[in-house]
Amino acid sequence: MLTQAWAEQEPSWVNSSSLSSTWAPVAKRQRQPSISCHSYTARVGDGNPHQNHRFTQVSESLTCASIGCTKYYSASETVSYSISAGGGGFVYLGFDVTRSRGWEEGTNCPADPWQPACLWVQTDLTAYSAQRRTRCHRLPSGEQVSDYASADPYVIYAPNKRQCGLTYHCRNGGSHCSKKGGSYLMPCGPRGTSFCNYGTEDGWGSYEYHRVPSQCR
């Protein structure tokens, strides 16, 4: 009788079908916490920052037809960041750089007889390496479970907030004056950030700063 009474009062949750349909999924969810992942951009190592220099012709080339000729130029220029092929977006990553840098200048440029004269602007850049990464955490604890590179490294070339080169300067001769908007990058500056060298060693910081130093050739 006692056995029969207990069987009659047996709650429904002790039967096998109830265990499999109600408690088993809950236990399974508890054994497998959810994972949350997000992407971010980080330096590759210390970013390997180097100083680069972009030179842009900001005036038309004008030729003097007399001795002692001087041409007056008024120009403005904005140089924005650039990214190596296959790269992601712009990020500061702690460097003292900006997305773009603008100048406006008026100056007289002397020219040799029958030789073109033109106005150029120099922009000092910091080149640094970045990479997209993915980081995952276990919820709800927040414990980090992985952090891995999710794309190839790329290089960001961004104007320095502190410009310490020639900025605007005059050039003479057909080999130095071509067309307005022409530019080139000198990608072999010294390692570091916002580097200023006003000496003349190998051309860096001197009057001939725009000429390609030997280590760039």
Strands, DSSP E only, in 44-167?
A: 50-57, 62-63, 69-80, 82-83, 100-111, 116-138, 143-149, 154-159
- Each residue's pLDDT, cut to its tens digit, for the chain (217 residues) gives 444 433 334 443 334 444 444 444 554 555 567 999 999 999 999 999 988 888 888 888 888 777 767 777 777 778 888 888 777 889 999 999 999 888 777 788 887 778 888 888 888 889 999 999 999 999 988 888 899 998 999 999 999 988 776 677 888 877 888 888 888 888 777 777 765 654 433 334 444 455 555 555 4
Q: Are 154 and 86 in contact (CB under 8 A)?
A: yes
Cis-peptide, bond into residue 140, ω within 30° of zero: yes
Q: Judge residue 53's burial from the number of C-beta atoms within 10 Å of its C-beta, 0-12 exposed, 13-18 middle, 19 or more buried.
A: buried
Radius of gyration of the chain (CA): 32
pTM of structure: 0.69
According to DSSP, the β-strands at 116-138 and 143-149 are antiparallel
pLDDT score recorded for residue 30: 55
